[in-house]
Copies of this chain bind each other. A is one copy, B any other.
């Protein structure tokens, strides 16, 4: 595994303020708190493949993704990798480091070039303590995040491979449009496969099946959807909520 690929980057001050201020999770920060965050924070550029931290590392920072894609994962005793989540812009990770003896509870790796904002865990902790509105935001975030995991479990057990891929594609679609949508798969198919708890071979075959059943067109990472209704009928029938379920961002 590649460990290099980290580079501290200077973001323009105004850009950083705007970015942080507009994150839902930080919208309850006071002006002073926001200033303090901006001061104590640092932006880091991580190139595709580089490891951000490893499970059990001392957790001094949690992160906000400015752009790019980051994979959270654990390794099992028999050496396989379990992908917990794959996140992008505006998502935060390692925020549970306030607990867990200040150790990271999983590992994180950039799966596409990314810029991430490192925020001291101590600052997170003290702000939670001092600003009840922020504490409530964090709690809402945690609750959503737990809910997201619950939906994940439902998907794994109730949907077959083709339906899970369909569901994944649906979550990439803009909500306003119904017909002739084109989306790009955001990262490579091997990773999508493990994100959806299946093998690459199964992914490939299930995508063929999905193509047959829903008349979507796939060329490389480009996906064309003529009619989103057909796709959601096929994918969501085994699930507890219909498209757009809105549960997983």
Contacts and interface: CB of A to CB of B under 8 A. Distances in A.
Contacts of A136: 98, 128-129, 135
B142 A80 contact: no
A99 interface: yes
Interface stretch (A109-117, A165-173, A237-245): A237-245
Nearest to A242: B77
Q: State how many copies of this chain the complex holds.
A: 2
Nearest to A76: B240
Tell me whether chain A's interface is mostly helix, strand or loop, or mixed.
Answer: helix
Contact of A146 (B138, B142, B236): B142
A180 interface: no
A72 to B, nearest CB: 9
Interface in A86-104: 96, 98-100
A162 B241 CA distance: 31
A139 B98 contact: yes
Contacts of A237: 77-78
A77 B238 contact: yes
Contacts of A140: 98-99
A241 B144 CA distance: 25
Nearest to A95: B143
A150 interface: yes
A102 B34 CA distance: 30
A141 to B, nearest CB: 9
Interface in A110-163: 128-130, 132, 135-136, 138-140, 142-147, 149-150, 152-154, 156-158
A74 B240 contact: yes
Contacts of A98: 136, 139-140, 143
A238 B149 contact: no
A67 interface: no
